[in-house]
Structure 1
Amino acid sequence: MEKDKYLGICKVGEKGQIVIPKEARDMFDIKPGDSIVVLCDKKKGIALVKSDVIESMSDEFLGGNNGK
């Protein structure tokens, strides 16, 4: 059975880097070289979203195929 929720903790390194936990990478099929969009709101927090998700959302919103 595939999990649809995960809670994990990661530490921020000296250079401000984090490691996304393996369970989360597996859940969202995040591979080395993938691009991640960082969404920030001072009141709501930080969200990480794979860039292909943002691209497909923009395609739906704009009604196009992103020039493809």
Structure 2
Amino acid sequence: MAAGESEAQYGPGGRGFYGSVTVSERGQIVIPAQARRDLGIAPGDKLLVLGDPEQGLALMTVDRLMRTLRGSTDLLSQIQGHVPAEPDRPAEE
């Protein structure tokens, strides 16, 4: 293990804690090697940076987001099949 690299800690569902990183003067961070290996992140991969004021930042690959959205669309379609159609509502002013 390289200097400064710590062992990952894993929790329920394979969620990992990979340590901490420091933001550089230019706003850059280094994703720990074990996290890159575990999550299949390779040089040249595009990552999306998602933010929530309450929960902070999250990084996600574009293809993972697309798989999640496809799954959400499939689930929404299944749910809509069990919900009676609503009559047309007048537009709100």
The two structures have a TM-score, normalised by structure 1, of: 0.76
Structural RMSD (CA): 1.5
For residue 29 of structure 1, the aligned residue among 28, 31, 40 is 40
Percent identical pairs in the alignment equals 36
Q: In structure 2, the residue corresponding to 1:27 is in which secondary structure?
A: helix
Any stretches of 5+ residues in structure 2 without a counterpart? 1-9, 75-93
Paired residues in the alignment total: 61
- Which one has the largest radius of gyration? 2
Deviation at 1:7, TM superposition (A): 2.7
Any stretches of 5+ residues in structure 1 without a counterpart? 64-68
Correspondence for 1:48 = 59
The two structures have a TM-score, normalised by structure 2, of: 0.58
Whichever structure has more helix as a proportion of its residues is: 2
Higher relative contact order, chain-length normalized (CA < 8 Å, sep 6+) = 1
